[in-house]
Chain A
């Protein structure tokens, strides 16, 4: 169970700018023992490209969750995740997200 769950719903590249939330996730690795960045809706495509900021996040111990339905709706598969992120990435359903939301000790930040 993560201490901090950050939820990104937008693909930063499509939005025309970097994702401030991903930057925050990288910075937060200094303060939280367990960080998960959930890529949901349009944001799932960020995991396919393996953006530099995501790679940095995983190199600092952060983990990435990718929403299963968001992948499926776009005709994507778990195997499409960028190789450099694969080890730190887990495809999850909304049940895992609910578990965190119901955990009183977890901090959750939602963007989008």
Chain B
């Protein structure tokens, strides 16, 4: 794994620690997308990217929490490109890992991508790209607390 349950960031601590925030919730993220569904059965993944991009374009901050098979989106095993397309032999298509990596590089501290450790381990997705945080399931509540709005996309 590239990242484990590191101590909460200052932002997170402010959001969940009553002593630090005097009991007041501080929402430092505009949007939390909880991506729960199997990633390739519909357009959920492209919709996720489009939503995050649109929020960033308006100066907002968006974070993603991937659960279930959506944890596989950031697996290092996917490599940088999808397998070669036999009908578009000379074109390369980025993997979802590459897309997330590029999104995180471009978005800076305005975007974050976390994955559920339980769901990852249960599915054998044990190695994620850099900058993706692997979090214990119980951490999800903190992500909700620090976000103004939470949307669930798909079901496990």
Bound-state Cα–Cα, A69 to B51, Å = 12
Q: Is the CB of A98 within 8 A of B51?
A: yes
Check B43 for interface membership: any CB of A closer than 8 A.
yes
Residues of B close to A93: CB separation below 8 A:
54
- B residues 41-56 with Cβ under 8 Å of A? 42-44, 47, 50-51, 53-55
- A98 and B148: CB pair below 8 A? no
Does more than half of chain A's interface fall in helix, strand or loop, or is it mixed?
helix
Contacts A108-B149, A110-B153, A112-B153 given; does A70 touch B43 at CB 8 Å = yes
CB of B57 within 8 A of CB of A98, answer yes
* Interface pair A97/B54, CB less than 8 Å apart: yes
Is A104 in the interface zone, CB < 8 Å from B? yes
* Chain A-chain B contacts (Cβ-Cβ < 8 Å), number: 53
CB distance from A103 to the nearest CB of B (A): 10
Give the secondary structure class of B's interface. Answer: mixed
B42 touches A102 (CB 8 A): no
For residue B58, give the distance in angstroms from its CB to the closest CB of chain A: 5
- Chain A residue with the shortest CB-CB distance to B46: A69
Q: Is B30 an interface residue (CB 8 A)?
A: yes
Q: Does B60 contact A (CB under 8 A)?
A: yes
Which of A40, A69, A102, A108 has the most chain B CB atoms closer than 10 A to its own CB? A102
Task: Answer yes or no: B154 CB below 8 A from chain A CBs.
Answer: yes
Q: A93-B54, A94-B54 are in contact. List 19 more A-B contacts (CB 8 A).
A: A9-B44, A41-B44, A42-B42, A94-B50, A94-B51, A95-B54, A95-B57, A97-B54, A98-B54, A98-B55, A98-B57, A98-B58, A101-B31, A101-B60, A101-B149, A110-B151, A112-B42, A112-B44, A112-B153
CB-CB nearest 6 A-B residue pairs: A98-B54, A94-B54, A41-B43, A94-B50, A110-B151, A98-B55
Interface residues of A (CB under 8 A from B): 9, 40-42, 69-70, 73, 93-95, 97-99, 101-102, 104, 108, 110, 112
